[in-house]
């Protein structure tokens, strides 16, 4: 980088993120029950390297060491998720006190270091007994989620600084229930739409439960991806702000609009009081009186996760989907083979502001990060210049959006630790801190020092 990363306004929240199943380990410890990810990961052929999250980073036992690493970064906040089966092993009934005790210890350790606890209630680890009873395909799961939210807020509501109900419900819908590449492994395609409604209903019911227990702000976190329309020649490209409109054929534009509605609008329009996107809502018999009002309960923050735009064009005849996804060429790639497009984040943020106007609450970037093949050198140091370039570019994109009038109030790097990366197992490293998955030794990477310095400089220059 030739110029320093831009500074941000006073009060901008700097953070890092993880999720329970990806870092905690301690499966079966202190009363924790099985989740859909425990079941899925133990099925042969599901995970790229055959690993599981049984141990992961052992954050459950090493949280104090990890909180010390966060304090060394100087972050304002740690976004973690609460493992539902650790709190309610059966997905219903009274809380398992040992599970809540762990989150008590974690929250107190964070506050002792002046780090805001940001708690996500659901990061995809549904208790297996609820899945056995129908999972998110049945309405009852939404009510069980609200009861679980109440239990957690009753214990932690006086200290958690921001609550997030759901993480990336679109990804959980599409990968977990539509395509079957994530837990619980259902392959329902568009027959999975009830999962969307029940997740959203669970969100709305959880908002009410949280409001009854705490005055802290409440959010939902969605994964967003600006749509780039590509014609079948591969040369007709649109870089719009996610509307699905562009310079391709009418069929390509229709495909872009369909994908945009599914990925970007399905879990945002209803939350902001606009109802379901036309043609994409669940069957009328699933939506009971009062459901849309419950889903549209006001939120204080919209969590935005961004990794890359999505290329879309009209599908081939006979396709079961109304769009075809197309690789975006001409960009650097991460180890996940995702294109690195920092300006897509600015495009997304401005697009959200333009689409929703006054209905849009303040935004926090709750995940932003990249996977690269980082390994220690002969001296034990871990250099990751590609990650530094990535984060620098995305922070510049956020600053550009702020300069265009978008109300963005925080940025959380995914992730503070190398972790267990879902279906990819231990093969993809996103961390600012390298984890040796044999010894569990932590080694801060060069990006850790870079992020620490960016935070310190921004605070100093904005004071």
For the chain, give the percent of residues with pLDDT over 90: 92
What CATH number is associated with residue 41?
3.20.20.80
Which residues constitute the domain of residue 104? Answer: 13-462
For tokens 């799961």, what's the residue? 141
> Does 1 reside within a domain?
no
CA quadruple 116, 117, 119, 123: dihedral sign:
positive
> Does 186 reside within a domain?
yes
> Does 8 reside within a domain?
no
Reading the block at residue 166, the tokens are 């759901």
Establish whether 167 is an annotated binding residue. Answer: yes
Q: Could you give the dihedral angle defined by the CA atoms of residues 166, 168, 169 and 171, in that order, rounded to the nearest 10 degrees?
A: -150
Catalytic residue among 96, 364, 367, 386: 367
Establish whether 404 is an annotated binding residue. Answer: no
**127-152 as b/e, with b when 16 or more CB fall inside 10 Å?**
bbbbbeeebbbebebbebbbbbbbbb
> Does 3 reside within a domain?
no
Rounded to 5°, angle at Cα 194 from 178 and 361: 95
What mean pLDDT do residues 41-65 have? Answer: 98
User: What is the pLDDT, as a whole number, of residue 233?
Assistant: 57
> Does 5 reside within a domain?
no
Q: Are strands 408-414 and 363-368 parallel, antiparallel or unpaired?
A: parallel
The answer to whether 83 and 106 have CB atoms below 8 angstroms apart is no
The answer to whether 317 and 228 have CB atoms below 8 angstroms apart is no
Domains identified in the chain, total number: 1
pLDDT tens digits along 238-281: 433 344 334 579 999 999 999 999 999 999 999 999 999 998 98
Between CA 179 and CA 369 the distance in angstroms is: 24
CA end-to-end distance (rounded Å), the chain:
24
Q: Is 367 known to be catalytic?
A: yes
DSSP state of 225: -
> Does 2 reside within a domain?
no
Reading the block at residue 51, the tokens are 């690993």
Reading the block at residue 107, the tokens are 């929250």
For tokens 């410890």, what's the residue? 29
Establish whether 285 is an annotated binding residue. Answer: no
pLDDT tens digits along 356-394: 999 999 999 999 999 999 999 999 999 999 999 999 999
Q: Is 327 known to be catalytic?
A: no
> Does 355 reside within a domain?
yes
User: What is the pLDDT, as a whole number, of residue 242?
Assistant: 42
Establish whether 22 is an annotated binding residue. Answer: yes
Contacts of 2 (CB under 8 A, 6+ apart): none
pTM above 0.85, yes or no: yes
> Does 408 reside within a domain?
yes
Listed in order, strand segments (DSSP E) in 199-278 are: 218-224, 227-229
Catalytic residue among 24, 168, 364, 386: 168
């Amino acid at each position: 980088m030739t110029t320093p990363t831009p500074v941000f306004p006073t009060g901008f929240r700097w953070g890092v993120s993880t999720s329970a199943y990806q870092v905690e380990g301690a499966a079966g410890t202190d009363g924790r029950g099985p989740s859909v990810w425990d079941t899925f990961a133990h099925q042969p052929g599901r995970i790229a390297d055959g690993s599981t999250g049984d141990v992961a980073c052992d954050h459950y036992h090493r949280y104090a060491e990890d909180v010390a690493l966060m304090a060394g970064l100087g972050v304002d906040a740690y976004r973690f998720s609460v493992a539902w089966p650790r709190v309610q092993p059966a997905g219903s009934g009274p809380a398992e006190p040992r599970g809540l005790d762990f989150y008590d210890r974690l929250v107190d350790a964070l506050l002792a270091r002046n780090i805001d606890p940001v708690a996500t209630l659901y990061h995809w680890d549904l208790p297996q007994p609820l899945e056995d009873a129908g999972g998110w395909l049945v309405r009852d799961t939404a009510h069980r989620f609200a009861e679980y939210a109440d239990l957690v807020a009753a214990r932690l509501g006086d200290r958690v600084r921001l609550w997030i109900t759901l993480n990336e419900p679109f990804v959980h819908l599409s990968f977990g229930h539509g395509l079957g590449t994530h837990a619980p492994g259902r392959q329902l395609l568009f027959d999975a739409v009830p999962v969307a409604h029940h997740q959203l209903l669970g969100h709305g019911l959880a908002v009410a439960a949280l409001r009854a227990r705490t005055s802290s702000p409440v959010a939902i976190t969605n994964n967003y991806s600006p749509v780039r329309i590509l014609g079948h020649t591969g040369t007709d490209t649109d870089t719009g702000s996610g509307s699905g409109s562009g310079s391709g054929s009418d069929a390509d534009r229709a495909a872009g609009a369909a994908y945009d509605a599914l990925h970007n609008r399905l879990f945002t329009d209803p939350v902001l009081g606009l109802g379901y996107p036309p043609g994409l809502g669940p069957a009328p018999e699933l939506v009971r009186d009062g459901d849309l009002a419950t889903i549209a309960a006001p939120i204080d923050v919209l969590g935005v996760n961004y990794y890359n735009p999505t290329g879309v064009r009209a599908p081939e005849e006979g396709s079961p989907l109304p769009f075809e996804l197309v690789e975006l060429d001409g960009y650097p790639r991460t180890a996940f083979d995702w294109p690195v497009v920092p300006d897509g984040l600015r495009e997304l943020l401005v697009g959200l502001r333009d689409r929703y106007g006054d209905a849009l609450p303040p935004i926090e970037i709750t995940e932003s990060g990249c996977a690269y093949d980082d390994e220690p050198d002969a001296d034990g140091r871990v250099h990751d210049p590609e990650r530094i370039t990535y984060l620098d570019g995305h922070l510049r994109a956020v600053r550009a959006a702020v300069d265009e009038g978008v109300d963005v109030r925080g940025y959380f790097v995914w992730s503070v630790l190398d972790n267990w990366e879902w279906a990819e197992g231990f093969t993809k490293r996103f961390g600012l801190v390298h984890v040796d998955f044999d010894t569990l030794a932590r080694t801060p990477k060069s990006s850790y020092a870079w992020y620490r310095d960016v935070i310190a400089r921004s605070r100093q220059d904005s004071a």
